[in-house]
Amino acid sequence: MLTLFDIGLHFPDRVEKIGALAEELALSRDQTRMYARFFGFDSFRCDPDHALAPLLHEAGRLVLERNRWLDDRITHVVYCHTLPSTAVFAGDSHSVLQPFTARGLEAFSVTMNHCASALTALNMLDEILSDDDVALVLIGEKAFHRVVRVIENTTIMGEAGCALLVGRGSGAYHVLGSSTSHDGRFAIITGRPGDDNLDAFGDNYVEFASESIRHALTRFGVGLGDVRCVMPHNVNIPSWSQIAHQIGLDPNRILLSTIARYGHCFGADPFINLLHARHEGVVGPSDLVLLFSIGLGATASSALIQVN
């Protein structure tokens, strides 16, 4: 069984409000109202002057400082990101993984499941980590362009650096299981406006998400009544209301309060929501929670977590 020892988060200091972003993101007045009033977005952390590597390294530093006793056990560093490439070609970019490869650690990226890659990585780590191994997992990327930042009529991206310490033994959270589902009909999606495959994926999104959650719960051997709440990816509020209706779940058991504060922070959302729920006392010892995320492609990944 995997243990999630700790979660570290780091956000850019710069806060953007949805109303001030309309011109930059080429949003019409009606679109701006839709994202704010209907989809639930209000503010985002995003700073073009805050480079990617420092964003992630600060999250890693915070979590390692709190858990110095695990530092000598780190054998793997995994960078989970949504975009296949997070650096501009020929640009002056500092490698996210370079400081760790310099220590002789095994370092690699996980990306092909897009925003679901971080949850998918938990299953992979369960296969490769020995009893004494610990992995540092880094999640996050820059919302550096409108094409990256906006999925039309669906969501707007924010920025966050997230770091996980994963291994075996006693810790804050136990990973009781993980599950991943794919729908190959939507394997090629650019995310750009006018992408017919993106529109078709949107039409099938709620059913795909609902069926993936049902499949995961069956695999884990638990029912909805056993799960304290769902820690979602922050795509938007209406989609989760529809999913809750489809699977017969009280919408109040889906943690959606961070959507307004941070937007959709790529693969970091479920862990942002888990940490927020723990700090706010929404979940406590012995609670079961379901982390869930969908990546374009289409992949749905989930993890059943026991809070300790």
pLDDT at 214: 97
Are 158 and 183 in a shared domain? no
* Mean pLDDT value across the chain: 92
The number of CA neighbours under 13 Å toward the Cβ of 105 is: 22
Q: Do residues 139 and 119 touch, judged by C-beta distance below 8 A? A: no
Picking from 138, 167, 196, the residue at the C-terminal end of a domain is 167
Other CB atoms within a 10 A radius of the CB of residue 164 amount to 26
Tokens of 298: 């289409």
Range of lowest pLDDT (150-164, 172-186, 188-202, 247-261):
188-202
Q: Domain span at residue 123? A: 2-167
Whole-angstrom Cα Rg for the chain: 18
Tokens of 253: 């058991």
Are 273 and 128 in a shared domain? no
Are 23 and 161 in a shared domain? yes
Are 196 and 87 in a shared domain? no
Picking from 167, 182, 216, the residue at the C-terminal end of a domain is 167
Q: What is the mean pLDDT of residues 233-245?
A: 96
126 pLDDT higher than 80: yes
Write the CA distances from 122 to 110, 135, 186, 212, 257, integer angstroms. 11, 10, 24, 17, 25
190 pLDDT higher than 70: no
Q: What is the mean pLDDT of residues 55-60?
A: 96
Q: 61: buried, middle or exposed (CB in 10 Å: 19+, 13-18, 0-12)?
A: middle
Distance from C-alpha of 42 to C-alpha of 62, rounded to nearest angstrom: 27
Q: Do residues 256 and 39 touch, judged by C-beta distance below 8 A? A: no
Global pTM exceeds 0.85? yes
Confidence of residue 92 (pLDDT cuts 50, 70, 90): very low
Range of lowest pLDDT (35-39, 90-94, 157-161, 189-193):
90-94
- Count of domains for the chain: 2
Picking from 147, 167, 187, the residue at the C-terminal end of a domain is 167
Are 271 and 299 in a shared domain? yes
Are 249 and 152 in a shared domain? no
Are 43 and 180 in a shared domain? no
93 pLDDT higher than 70: no
Q: What is the mean pLDDT of residues 44-65?
A: 95
Q: Do residues 82 and 144 touch, judged by C-beta distance below 8 A? A: no
Q: In what order do the strands lie in the sheet with 134-139?
A: 106-110, 74-80, 134-139, 161-167, 2-10, 173-182, 299-307, 288-295, 229-231
Instruction: Give me the CATH number covering residue 193.
Output: 3.40.47.10
pLDDT at 191: 62
94 pLDDT higher than 70: no
2 pLDDT higher than 80: yes
Q: What is the mean pLDDT of residues 275-282?
A: 96
Angle at 138 (CA atoms; ends 182, 12), nearest 5 degrees = 110
Are 27 and 161 in a shared domain? yes
Total residue count of the chain as it appears in this document: 308
Residue with tokens 């949107």: 202
Are 121 and 180 in a shared domain? no
Nearest to 120 by CA among 246, 249, 245, 291: 291
Are 87 and 215 in a shared domain? no
Are 188 and 69 in a shared domain? no
Distance from C-alpha of 107 to C-alpha of 214, rounded to nearest angstrom: 34
Are 212 and 67 in a shared domain? no
